[in-house]
Amino acid sequence: MHNRMITATAVLALTAGMAMAEKSEITVWGWGVAASSLMATVEGFNALNPDITVNVEQMGYSQVKSRVLAACAAGGTGLPDVFQFQNVEMELITAQFPDCAADLAELGFGDDDAAKFPEFKMTALDTGDKIHGMPWDTGPVMMFYRRDFYENAGVDAASIVTWDDFIEAGKKVQAANDGVVMTNDNLNGGAEWFRMIANEQGCGYFTLDGESISINQPGCVAALDVLKTVVDEGLLTAGDFGERLQNSAAGAVATQMNGAWFEGSLRTNVPEDHAGKWGMYLMPTVAEGGPRAANVGGSLLAISNTSDNKEAAYKYIDYTLGTNEGQITMLREYGLVPSLLSALDDPYVAEPRDFWGGQTVWLDVLATLDDIVPAVGTPFFGDADQVMQATQIAYINGEFSTAQEALDDAARQISFNTGLPIAE
Mean pLDDT by 10 residues, the chain (424 residues): 42 38 90 93 97 97 95 96 92 90 96 90 84 93 98 98 98 98 92 96 94 98 98 96 96 97 91 97 96 93 97 98 96 90 90 96 90 87 95 97 98 97 95
CA distance 391 to 380: 17
How high is the pLDDT of residue 21? 52
Distance of CA 300 to the CA centre of its chain: 10
How high is the pLDDT of residue 414? 98
Contact call for residues 8 and 43 (beta carbons, < 8 A):
yes
Contact call for residues 191 and 240 (beta carbons, < 8 A):
no
Contact call for residues 136 and 116 (beta carbons, < 8 A):
no
Where is 73: in which H helix or E strand?
helix 61-73
Domains and CATH numbers, the chain: 4-135+297-371 (3.40.190.10), 143-294+373-418 (3.40.190.10)
How high is the pLDDT of residue 11? 36
